[in-house]
Amino acid sequence: MVNRLRIGVIFGGRSGEYEISLLSTRSVLSVLDPHRYAVTQIGITQQGAWLTARSESDLSVLDALQTGKLEGLLPAAILPDPSRPGLFVMDTAGERWDLITELDVIFPVLHGPYGEDGTLQGLLELVDIAYVGAGVVGSAVGMDKGVFQSVMLALGIPVVETQVILRSDVIHDLKGTIVQSELVAPYPLFIKPANLGSSVGVSKCQNRSDLHEGLLEAARFDRRILVQRGVNAREIEVAVLGNDKPMASIPGEVLPSREFYSYEAKYIDNTSGLLIPAPLPDETAELARQLAVQAFQAIDCAGMARVDFLLDKDSGELFLNEINTIPGFTQISMYPKLWEATGVPYSELVDRLIALAIERKAERNQIERKYTR
């Protein structure tokens, strides 16, 4: 145990996907080999407070966040100082930050804003510490579905007709925004917050009344809202793993228990099905894998991503829908299940992601920080 890697697992966060983060974290923690890793749990409450325990044997931070019983946890911080890459806690007098452990790798298990969108990644770049997953650019572009779709269009990758609406338009001119939204395509239309996942705030609209409600619902969660043509589609997903030379898993298919793969269908009903591998013609499966890697590389992703497609049941067209740079990571989530079916079991997948983080950091270390003539 002397040479264990010091891993900081960060979870929770100021996002509508808070509960999903806690579920994913429990799975990740369960497979981190204590003989290889010294794990420090770092929880972020929904109000944004960073908390930890003084040692591995103390109160589980994850359990405390799940129960809401935070007594005994300590205010924590990672400071943007590359000379001290570790976790700090506030001293009992509340006067200074004390370093309680240095950290070799950060494993963010944060879904949505303030964790998956480049904000945390920017802090970790300032600290100059290795971390799992995409960097600032890949995280930010992958998080904003509107920007991501623009990048895919520029590359000629097929995406569904989409328009970005601002929350201010919804608030100040709802009637005009509804008319503008209806120009995207005939009903049904999908309304989505641009910067959330797990289907939070997503609505399928069959008429103007639905659209009215869907725009107001999405505006609760983001200032940028997507209006997207509805497709009579099969939902196909591909997992990607790697850095500069990523590889794609076999495709899987989601069989939602509701009309579409809503938050309830994903996490409440427990009746949605996964088909792995997806029953697809070989050429369609290979196209999905190629496009997944192309999208991953286009936004300078790293480590991991799940790339989601819509396969039109009527025309047979394949549309790239979105990319998730920190996908759901429970042991029954699609991303790890796709890799398990491709030959990489869950525990090995977590080990590989940590190794990829260290590889990416080693590459960053080769960058010269001082220019001399």
Model confidence, pTM: 0.91
Instruction: Write down the pLDDT at residue 196.
Output: 77
Residue 137: inside a domain: no
**In the predicted model, is pLDDT for residue 341 greater than 80?**
yes
CATH number at residue 344: 3.30.470.20
Domain shared by 33 and 96, yes or no = yes
Residue 293: inside a domain: yes
Strand partners, 7: 39, 105
Residue 372: inside a domain: no
Q: How many domains is the chain built from?
A: 3
Domain shared by 108 and 40, yes or no = yes
Domain shared by 236 and 176, yes or no = no
**In the predicted model, is pLDDT for residue 271 greater than 60?**
no
**Residue, of 99 and 55, whose pLDDT is higher:** 99
Domain shared by 200 and 169, yes or no = yes
Domain-ending residue, one of 131, 151, 184: 131
Residue 16: inside a domain: yes
Q: Residue 65 belongs to what domain range?
A: 5-131
Residue 238: inside a domain: yes
How do residues 217-247 score in pLDDT, each as one tens digit? Answer: 999 989 999 999 999 999 999 999 999 999 9
How far is residue 145 from each of residues 84, 271, 308, measured CA to CA in Å?
35, 27, 12
Instruction: Write down the pLDDT at residue 57.
Output: 63
**Mean pLDDT lowest among 42-56, 117-131, 297-311:** 42-56
**In the predicted model, is pLDDT for residue 119 greater than 90?**
yes
User: Smallest Cα–Cα separation from 1: which of 52, 41, 56?
Assistant: 56
How do residues 154-182 score in pLDDT, each as one tens digit? Answer: 999 999 999 999 999 999 999 999 999 99
C-alpha span between 44 and 358 (Å, rounded): 24
Instruction: Write down the pLDDT at residue 207.
Output: 97
**In the predicted model, is pLDDT for residue 87 greater than 80?**
yes
Confidence band of 26 (pLDDT split at 50, 70, 90): very high
Confidence band of 290 (pLDDT split at 50, 70, 90): very high
Domain shared by 273 and 151, yes or no = yes
**In the predicted model, is pLDDT for residue 293 greater than 80?**
yes
C-alpha span between 226 and 189 (Å, rounded): 10
Domain shared by 201 and 272, yes or no = no
Instruction: Write down the pLDDT at residue 200.
Output: 76
Considering the chain, what is the average pLDDT of its residues?
92
Q: How far is residue 13 CA from its own chain's centroid?
A: 12
Domain-ending residue, one of 181, 214, 229: 229
Domain shared by 27 and 125, yes or no = yes
Q: CB–CB of 164/182 below 8 Å?
A: no
Domain shared by 350 and 286, yes or no = yes
Give me the helices (H) in the chain, please.
18-31, 61-67, 119-127, 136-143, 145-155, 167-172, 174-182, 208-219, 263, 282-298, 334-342, 346-364
